[in-house]
């Protein structure tokens, strides 16, 4: 499936649960420094477009482009791996929660580096099994996630491709953006079909794995087994789920 096709298939209800998480956004925007012109690659509906700067968006999916609100930055239909811009034409290039979908993330990152002086990316380490063993959702209910990440570049390889540094990003317990890890302290949320439809993982693992995971989670919530196993999470305000910023 090509870059835009997945979100043309699954993206129609994206904006129902996917919106700006301001605490993460402010950290991300700070990393953009004094950049005045910003290219937002894999921009989707534009949740993380920084206010007060000149933004151009790139988004391959027509379904996602159609959900951009009135007044959002102008959006070009293109892919990260082949950005239709001159060398060094932006102060900064950004990518939020998208590079795991790119067919060739290393080429996409080098393209961002080519068109901009500064690069800021929000992503995770696909090869780090540590967080997947720790996060109860992947550990106890959806181990199939590991198969989705086979062959993807590690965080170190991503960072090395553009000479970026990495910084951990904790997820607030009440995170407003419904990405995969967002509900780590609100397990009931994963029982809600609207929540799952806003996250590509659930569609990619297929209906059988999804049904099994949801059924099993529901049983464990009712029986108290989830609470028993995860009692250490209840007092945390923010969780380490392996999410990272790459900053150049």
Ligand X SMILES: C[S@@+](CC[C@H](N)C(=O)[O-])C[C@H]1O[C@@H](n2cnc3c(N)ncnc32)[C@H](O)[C@@H]1O
Interface with ligand X, residue 135, by CB under 6 A:
no
Structural element, H or E, at residue 95:
strand 90-96
Interface with ligand X, residue 97, by CB under 6 A:
yes
| C-beta separation of 33 from 55 below 8 A | no
Interface with ligand X, residue 201, by CB under 6 A:
no
Size of the site for ligand X (CB under 6 A): 25
CB of 222 to ligand X, least distance (A): 31
Interface with ligand X, residue 243, by CB under 6 A:
no
Interface with ligand X, residue 124, by CB under 6 A:
no
Give the angle subtended at the CA of 31 by the CAs of 30 and 36, to the nearest 5°.
Answer: 75
Q: Which is nearer to ligand X, 27 or 225 (CB)?
A: 27
Interface with ligand X, residue 138, by CB under 6 A:
no
> For the chain, what is the radius of gyration of the CA atoms?
18
- In whole angstroms, give the CA distance from residue 240 to residue 195: 21
Judged by CB under 6 A, the residue of 17, 47, 123, 138 near ligand X is 47
Interface with ligand X, residue 115, by CB under 6 A:
no
**162-171 b/e with 16+ CB inside 10 Å = b?**
bebebeebbb
CB of 50 to ligand X, least distance (A): 12
């Amino acid at each position: 499936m090509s870059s835009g096709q997945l979100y043309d298939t699954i993206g129609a209800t994206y904006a129902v649960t996917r919106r700006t998480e301001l605490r993460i956004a402010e950290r991300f925007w700070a990393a953009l420094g004094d950049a005045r012109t910003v290219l937002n690659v894999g921009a989707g509906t534009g949740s993380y477009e920084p206010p007060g700067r000149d933004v151009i968006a790139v988004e391959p999916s027509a379904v996602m482009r159609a959900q951009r609100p009135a007044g959002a930055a102008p959006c070009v239909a293109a892919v990260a791996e082949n950005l239709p811009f001159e060398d060094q034409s932006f102060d900064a290039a950004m990518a939020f929660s998208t590079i795991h979908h790119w067919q060739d993330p290393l080429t996409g990152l080098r393209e961002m580096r080519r068109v901009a002086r500064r690069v800021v990316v929000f992503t995770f380490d696909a090869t780090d099994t540590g967080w997947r063993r720790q996060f109860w959702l992947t550990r106890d209910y959806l181990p199939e996630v590991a198969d989705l990440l086979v062959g993807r570049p590690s965080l170190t390889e991503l960072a090395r491709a553009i000479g970026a540094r990495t910084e951990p990003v904790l997820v607030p317990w009440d995170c407003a953006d419904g990405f995969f890890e967002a509900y780590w302290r609100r397990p009931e949320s994963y029982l809600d079909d609207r929540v799952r439809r806003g996250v590509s993982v659930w569609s990619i693992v297929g209906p059988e794995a999804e049904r099994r995971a949801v059924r099993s989670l529901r049983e464990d919530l009712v029986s108290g087994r989830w609470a028993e196993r995860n009692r250490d999470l209840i007092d945390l305000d923010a969780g380490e789920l392996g999410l990272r910023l790459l900053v150049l």
